[in-house]
Amino acid sequence: MVNHEMENLEKSLRQTIKHLATGGRLVIISYHSLEDRIVKQFMKEESTGCICPPQIPVCQCGHKATLKLITKKVIMPSLAEIESNPRSRSAKMRVAERI
């Protein structure tokens, strides 16, 4: 990407956790599959405790979950919304809460 959008998205996501109060909600709407993949992986990683490989029996990473997923599946626009706003057809929304 010309303007490093994907790298900037990853950095921004990491910074949002620092600024989000406990109980605060993070709502992200993405419009492209590459953006959505980054958001999905970020939320999955931050909602999981240990991220060590499965072959390591005892946690070595010390990673703690910082988010709780509010929406397990992506929220997409309804057919009625797409009809009234055709640009919304590619929108995907994901929601998580700071713990």
Query: Does residue 83 have a pLDDT over 70?
Result: yes
Query: Does residue 5 have a pLDDT over 80?
Result: yes
Report the chain's C-alpha Rg in angstroms. Answer: 16
Whether residue 75 lies inside any domain: the answer is yes
Predicted TM-score (pTM) of the model is 0.88
96 burial class (0-12, 13-18, 19+ CB within 10 angstroms)?
buried
For 50, 52, 88, 98, the CA distances from 18, given in Å and listed in that order, are: 19, 23, 30, 10
Digit-coded pLDDT (tens) for 25-79:
999 999 999 999 999 999 999 999 988 888 988 889 889 999 999 999 999 999 9
Output the pLDDT for position 57. 86
Whether residue 76 lies inside any domain: the answer is yes
Whether residue 12 lies inside any domain: the answer is no
Output the pLDDT for position 56. 87
Q: What is the CATH number of the domain that holds 51?
A: 3.40.50.150
Whether residue 73 lies inside any domain: the answer is yes
Residue 66 vs residue 2, higher pLDDT: 66
Cα dihedral sign, 17-38-95-93: positive
Cα dihedral sign, 12-95-68-22: positive
Domain hosting 61: range is: 22-98
Number of domains in the chain: 1
Whether residue 84 lies inside any domain: the answer is yes
